[in-house]
Amino acid sequence: MDLEELYGQIRACRRCGLCQGRNHAVPGEGLELAPKVMCIGEGPGQQEDLSGRPFVGPAGQLLDRMLASIGLNRQNTYIANVVKCRPPANRTPEAAEVQACLPFLRQQVRLIRPRILFCLGATAARAIIDPNFRVTKQRGLWVERKGFYLMGSYHPSALLRDESGQYKRQAWEDLKSLRAKLEELERG
Protein backbone atom coordinates (compact mmCIF):
# COMPACT_ATOMS: atom_id res chain seq x y z
CA MET A 1 0.00 0.00 0.00
CA ASP A 2 1.21 3.50 -0.77
CA LEU A 3 0.14 6.81 0.76
CA GLU A 4 -2.42 7.64 -1.91
CA GLU A 5 -4.15 4.31 -1.36
CA LEU A 6 -4.06 4.89 2.40
CA TYR A 7 -5.47 8.41 1.97
CA GLY A 8 -8.29 6.93 -0.12
CA GLN A 9 -9.07 4.45 2.65
CA ILE A 10 -9.09 7.25 5.23
CA ARG A 11 -11.43 9.38 3.11
CA ALA A 12 -13.83 6.43 2.65
CA CYS A 13 -13.61 5.25 6.27
CA ARG A 14 -16.78 4.42 8.19
CA ARG A 15 -15.14 2.65 11.17
CA CYS A 16 -16.72 4.96 13.74
CA GLY A 17 -19.45 7.54 14.05
CA LEU A 18 -17.16 10.51 13.42
CA CYS A 19 -17.55 9.96 9.68
CA GLN A 20 -21.22 10.93 9.88
CA GLY A 21 -20.57 14.58 10.68
CA ARG A 22 -17.48 15.23 8.63
CA ASN A 23 -17.06 17.46 5.61
CA HIS A 24 -13.60 16.04 4.95
CA ALA A 25 -11.44 13.37 6.48
CA VAL A 26 -8.02 14.86 7.22
CA PRO A 27 -5.23 12.33 6.51
CA GLY A 28 -2.24 14.65 6.96
CA GLU A 29 0.24 16.63 4.91
CA GLY A 30 3.88 17.53 4.53
CA LEU A 31 7.04 15.76 3.46
CA GLU A 32 5.80 12.27 2.66
CA LEU A 33 9.06 10.33 2.64
CA ALA A 34 11.46 10.16 5.55
CA PRO A 35 10.95 13.52 7.24
CA LYS A 36 12.87 13.77 10.48
CA VAL A 37 9.75 14.87 12.40
CA MET A 38 6.11 13.86 12.32
CA CYS A 39 3.87 16.10 14.43
CA ILE A 40 0.75 14.34 15.65
CA GLY A 41 -2.23 16.12 17.12
CA GLU A 42 -5.56 14.97 18.49
CA GLY A 43 -8.01 15.45 15.65
CA PRO A 44 -9.27 17.95 13.11
CA GLY A 45 -11.11 21.05 14.25
CA GLN A 46 -13.69 23.04 12.35
CA GLN A 47 -11.25 24.73 9.95
CA GLU A 48 -9.49 21.44 9.26
CA ASP A 49 -12.80 19.67 8.62
CA LEU A 50 -13.77 22.36 6.12
CA SER A 51 -10.42 22.39 4.30
CA GLY A 52 -9.33 18.75 4.59
CA ARG A 53 -5.92 19.92 5.87
CA PRO A 54 -4.43 19.47 9.36
CA PHE A 55 -3.66 22.36 11.69
CA VAL A 56 -4.91 25.30 9.59
CA GLY A 57 -6.86 27.23 12.24
CA PRO A 58 -5.37 29.39 15.00
CA ALA A 59 -3.64 26.38 16.64
CA GLY A 60 -2.14 25.49 13.26
CA GLN A 61 -0.85 29.00 12.77
CA LEU A 62 0.81 28.75 16.18
CA LEU A 63 2.24 25.34 15.27
CA ASP A 64 3.72 26.85 12.11
CA ARG A 65 5.43 29.57 14.21
CA MET A 66 6.64 26.98 16.72
CA LEU A 67 8.18 24.84 13.99
CA ALA A 68 9.74 27.88 12.31
CA SER A 69 11.41 28.82 15.60
CA ILE A 70 13.53 25.67 15.32
CA GLY A 71 14.02 25.71 11.55
CA LEU A 72 11.16 23.40 10.54
CA ASN A 73 8.07 23.92 8.41
CA ARG A 74 5.29 22.03 6.66
CA GLN A 75 7.57 21.19 3.76
CA ASN A 76 10.21 19.37 5.84
CA THR A 77 7.95 17.72 8.44
CA TYR A 78 4.75 15.71 8.27
CA ILE A 79 1.65 16.76 10.23
CA ALA A 80 -1.21 14.42 11.10
CA ASN A 81 -3.75 13.67 13.80
CA VAL A 82 -4.67 10.58 15.76
CA VAL A 83 -8.29 10.69 14.54
CA LYS A 84 -8.91 11.72 10.97
CA CYS A 85 -12.44 13.17 11.33
CA ARG A 86 -13.61 16.06 13.49
CA PRO A 87 -15.24 15.10 16.77
CA PRO A 88 -18.52 17.01 17.34
CA ALA A 89 -17.96 20.44 18.92
CA ASN A 90 -14.20 19.68 18.95
CA ARG A 91 -14.59 17.36 21.93
CA THR A 92 -11.79 14.99 22.88
CA PRO A 93 -11.96 11.82 20.76
CA GLU A 94 -13.41 8.82 22.57
CA ALA A 95 -11.28 5.72 23.13
CA ALA A 96 -13.20 3.71 20.51
CA GLU A 97 -12.68 6.50 17.93
CA VAL A 98 -8.96 6.59 18.67
CA GLN A 99 -8.75 2.79 18.33
CA ALA A 100 -10.64 2.92 15.02
CA CYS A 101 -8.14 5.42 13.57
CA LEU A 102 -4.88 4.13 15.08
CA PRO A 103 -4.29 1.58 12.29
CA PHE A 104 -4.31 4.46 9.79
CA LEU A 105 -1.79 6.43 11.85
CA ARG A 106 0.44 3.37 12.29
CA GLN A 107 0.38 2.76 8.53
CA GLN A 108 1.26 6.41 7.91
CA VAL A 109 4.26 6.09 10.23
CA ARG A 110 5.37 2.89 8.43
CA LEU A 111 5.08 4.50 5.00
CA ILE A 112 6.46 7.95 5.87
CA ARG A 113 9.28 6.70 8.14
CA PRO A 114 9.92 9.73 10.36
CA ARG A 115 12.62 9.49 13.03
CA ILE A 116 10.76 11.56 15.63
CA LEU A 117 7.09 11.48 16.62
CA PHE A 118 6.27 14.79 18.31
CA CYS A 119 2.94 14.29 20.09
CA LEU A 120 0.90 17.45 20.54
CA GLY A 121 -1.34 17.08 23.56
CA ALA A 122 -2.51 14.31 25.84
CA THR A 123 -4.67 12.44 23.33
CA ALA A 124 -1.78 11.96 20.91
CA ALA A 125 0.72 11.15 23.65
CA ARG A 126 -1.65 8.62 25.24
CA ALA A 127 -2.27 6.92 21.90
CA ILE A 128 1.42 6.77 20.96
CA ILE A 129 3.63 6.94 24.05
CA ASP A 130 1.72 5.72 27.11
CA PRO A 131 -2.01 5.33 27.85
CA ASN A 132 -1.42 7.04 31.20
CA PHE A 133 0.60 9.96 29.82
CA ARG A 134 0.21 13.22 31.74
CA VAL A 135 1.32 16.25 29.73
CA THR A 136 2.03 18.39 32.77
CA LYS A 137 4.28 15.70 34.28
CA GLN A 138 5.80 13.85 31.30
CA ARG A 139 6.08 16.47 28.57
CA GLY A 140 9.57 16.96 27.22
CA LEU A 141 10.76 13.45 28.11
CA TRP A 142 12.18 11.34 25.31
CA VAL A 143 11.17 7.72 24.79
CA GLU A 144 12.90 5.52 22.26
CA ARG A 145 10.82 2.72 20.81
CA LYS A 146 11.42 0.54 17.75
CA GLY A 147 13.88 3.03 16.25
CA PHE A 148 11.62 6.04 16.81
CA TYR A 149 12.13 8.88 19.25
CA LEU A 150 8.89 9.98 20.89
CA MET A 151 8.12 13.11 22.89
CA GLY A 152 4.89 14.63 24.13
CA SER A 153 4.28 18.32 24.59
CA TYR A 154 1.39 20.73 24.85
CA HIS A 155 -1.12 21.02 22.05
CA PRO A 156 -0.96 24.46 20.41
CA SER A 157 -4.61 25.09 21.33
CA ALA A 158 -3.68 24.67 25.02
CA LEU A 159 -0.93 27.23 24.53
CA LEU A 160 -3.43 29.66 23.03
CA ARG A 161 -5.48 29.38 26.22
CA ASP A 162 -2.44 29.68 28.53
CA GLU A 163 -2.85 33.10 30.14
CA SER A 164 -0.04 32.56 32.65
CA GLY A 165 2.57 31.77 30.02
CA GLN A 166 3.79 28.77 32.01
CA TYR A 167 2.85 26.21 29.35
CA LYS A 168 4.37 28.38 26.64
CA ARG A 169 7.70 28.49 28.47
CA GLN A 170 7.63 24.72 28.91
CA ALA A 171 6.66 24.19 25.26
CA TRP A 172 9.64 26.34 24.25
CA GLU A 173 11.90 24.03 26.29
CA ASP A 174 10.35 21.05 24.48
CA LEU A 175 11.00 22.68 21.11
CA LYS A 176 14.64 23.31 22.04
CA SER A 177 14.92 19.65 23.05
CA LEU A 178 13.39 18.64 19.72
CA ARG A 179 15.94 20.80 17.89
CA ALA A 180 18.78 19.21 19.91
CA LYS A 181 17.51 15.71 19.08
CA LEU A 182 17.40 16.62 15.39
CA GLU A 183 20.98 17.86 15.55
CA GLU A 184 22.01 14.66 17.34
CA LEU A 185 20.37 12.53 14.64
CA GLU A 186 22.01 14.59 11.88
CA ARG A 187 25.45 14.02 13.45
CA GLY A 188 24.69 10.30 13.41
Give the pLDDT of residue 188.
80
Q: Is the pLDDT of residue 4 over 90?
A: yes
Q: Is the pLDDT of residue 12 over 90?
A: yes
Q: Is the pLDDT of residue 102 over 90?
A: yes
51-86 tens-digit pLDDT:
999 999 999 999 999 999 999 999 999 999 999 999
| First-to-last C-alpha distance (Å) of the chain | 30
> The CATH number of the domain where 137 resides is what?
3.40.470.10
82, amino acid identity: V
Q: Which domain holds residue 162?
A: 3-187
CB 156 within 8 A of CB 66: yes
Q: How many domains does the chain have?
A: 1
